[in-house]
Amino acid sequence: MKRPPEAKKRERKMPDCMGKKAEVALLMGSKSDLPLVKGAFDIFREFGVGFTARVLSAHRTPDEAAEFAAGAEKAGIKVIICAAGMAAHLGGVVASFTTVPVIGIPVASEPFNGMDALLSMVQMPPGIPVAVVTAGKAGGKNAALYAVSILALSNPELGEKLKSYRAAQKKKVLEADAELQNELSNL
Ligand code: C2R
């Protein structure tokens, strides 16, 4: 049976960053969100995770956003991250077109300082979940780390990298504490 042209379109290869097959897709509602999600790129690079990033909007490019979401699984995407501000419907709409896990990053903007985006993402009706992470710059980093944890479930090497990352983080904090204790004892 001949497949409809849109099915073919959906299987289109994802544009890969880092020359690796993309397993994570990071969508942002506008290019203006980019400064807040850059932390995610650093984590993907650090962990060697292939990713792709797109500017797509459920409001402004509904057809393209739906096409991307509907074709993501076949294209090998295992986690989709959606960053959006204001009435942030992007994550919810993307999640409605796929069973690939969707993580939302609420982007803070005037006049509600991100509360609008947070509630739009976190208050999904039952049946279509979106996992929401920290608003602000930390959101990019945490969304990427969460995506890495999901991928690590079926990739032991990535799991080990994640454990080393946590151990290095712990070491840094304990060193900072030792430094503080030293400073306090010299007061
Ligand atoms: P502009 O800076 O382009 O005016 O966008 C974007 O994520 C951005 O934070 C302002 C804000 O609008 C958000 N936006 C959404 C969606 N599309 C764009 N929340 C969507 O589909 O949910």
Give residue-wise pLDDT tens across range 110-135: 999 999 999 999 999 999 999 999 99
Give residue-wise pLDDT tens across range 76-115: 999 999 999 999 999 999 999 999 999 999 999 999 999 9
Give residue-wise pLDDT tens across range 35-91: 999 999 999 999 999 999 999 999 999 999 999 999 999 999 999 999 999 999 999
Q: Which residue type, as a one-letter code, is found at position 161?
A: K
Three-class SS of 101-155: CEEEEEECCCCCCCHHHHHHHHCCCCCCCCEECCCCCHHHHHHHHHHHHHHHCCC
Return the pLDDT at 159.
Answer: 98
Minimum-distance ligand 1 atom for the alpha carbon of 86: 19
The third-level CATH classification (topology) of the domain covering 24-154 is Rossmann fold (3.40.50)
Give residue-wise pLDDT tens across range 17-38: 667 899 999 999 999 999 999 9
Q: How many residues does the chain have?
A: 187
Q: Which residue type, as a one-letter code, is found at position 125?
A: P
CA dihedral 117, 91, 158, 172 (to 10 degrees): 0
3-class DSSP assignment, residue 24:
strand
- Residue 135: both structure tokens together: 């608003």
Rounded to the nearest angstrom, the distance between the alpha carbon of 122 and the centre of ligand 1 is 16
Contact 130, 104 (CB under 8 A): yes
Minimum-distance ligand 1 atom for the alpha carbon of 60: 17
Rounded to the nearest angstrom, the distance between the alpha carbon of 42 and the centre of ligand 1 is 23
Check residue 17 and report its DSSP letter.
Answer: B
Closest residue to atom 14 of ligand 1, CA basis: 29
* C-beta neighbour count of 143 within 10 angstroms: 27
* C-beta neighbour count of 157 within 10 angstroms: 10
Cα–Cα distances in angstroms (integers) from residue 58 to residues 27, 28, 62, 85, 156, in the given order: 11, 10, 4, 12, 35
Q: Which of 33, 61, 113 to mutate to test the pocket of ligand 1 (most atoms within 8 A of CB)?
A: 33
